[in-house]
């Protein structure tokens, strides 16, 4: 970091201006998650360090090896007496996801009483996640889910093994409805085996709703 002297107080730049410039620049030049939130924390410049007022206007750049969470941003001033400095910045991105409002017991139905939307640090989320509580209302917990834990297809099932489901077989001209027993767990889009209650045959069908599977003929 370079230190510049000034003839008078008026010629010295307020360090807070540099910090605010860095914050705004980062916000305008990073990807923000859809419906998400971003918090930028800029390290304070040592008050003993002074910079000449930049007549040409401040510029900056984000390094190519930026890891998404921490960076050292370079602030430049291209005046006749140029100067530059680096500022450490921490970035926290959070996204709205469905989480357990309280501890949920294995086998419990998910509804407005036990799940909610919360903003979670995107770097703490692993794998797929759900952003609409209505998509999992009526599904069951496959295992105990701790309070504030993310609700995913790994800890819930819309069709649960051993339960009876509606089977809908559709073609372009007709639809047949019957029932069967799920032989495995599944969520929307999953292919699972179901035992037809009437015929006893095992069929493969796609989960398309709570306790419903579909066969396209």
In this structure, the answer to whether residues 36 and 104 fall within a common structural domain is no
Number of domains in the chain: 3
| Whole-number pLDDT of residue 33 | 79
pTM over 0.85: no
Q: Which residues contact 172 (CB under 8 A, 6 or more apart)?
A: none
Per-residue confidence band for 217, with pLDDT thresholds at 50, 70 and 90: confident
In this structure, the answer to whether residues 24 and 50 fall within a common structural domain is yes
Residue 14 in any domain: the answer is yes
| Whole-number pLDDT of residue 2 | 38
In this structure, the answer to whether residues 13 and 84 fall within a common structural domain is yes
Residue 3 in any domain: the answer is no
Task: Give the structural domain span for 118.
Answer: 95-157
Q: Tens digit of pLDDT for each residue in 148-191?
A: 999 988 899 999 999 999 999 988 888 989 999 999 999 888 99
| Whole-number pLDDT of residue 44 | 95
The sign of the torsion formed by the CA atoms of 136, 138, 139, 145 equals positive
CB burial of 37-72 (b: ≥16 within 10 Å; e: otherwise) equals eeeeebeebeeeebbbebeeebebeeeeebeeeebe
In this structure, the answer to whether residues 14 and 73 fall within a common structural domain is yes
């Amino acid at each position: 970091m370079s230190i510049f002297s000034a003839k008078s107080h008026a010629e010295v730049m307020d360090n807070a201006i540099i910090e605010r410039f860095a914050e705004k620049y980062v916000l305008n030049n990073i990807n923000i998650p859809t419906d998400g939130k971003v918090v930028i924390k800029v390290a304070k410049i040592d008050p003993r360090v002074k910079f000449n007022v930049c007549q040409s206007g401040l510029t900056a750049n984000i390094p190519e090896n930026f890891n998404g969470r921490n960076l050292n941003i370079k602030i430049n001033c291209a005046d006749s007496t140029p100067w530059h400095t680096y500022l450490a910045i921490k970035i926290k991105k959070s996204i709205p996801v469905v989480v357990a409002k309280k501890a949920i017991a294995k086998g419990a139905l998910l509804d407005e009483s036990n799940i909610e939307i919360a903003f979670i640090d995107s770097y703490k989320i692993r794998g797929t996640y759900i952003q609409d509580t209505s998509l999992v209302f009526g599904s069951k917990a496959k295992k105990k889910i701790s309070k504030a834990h993310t609700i995913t297809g790994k800890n819930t099932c819309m069709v649960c093994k051993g339960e009876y489901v509606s089977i809908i077989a559709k073609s372009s001209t007709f639809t047949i409805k019957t029932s069967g027993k799920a032989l495995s767990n599944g969520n929307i889009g999953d292919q699972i085996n179901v035992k037809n209650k009437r015929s006893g045959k095992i069929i493969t069908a796609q989960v398309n709703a709570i306790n419903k599977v579909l066969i396209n003929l």
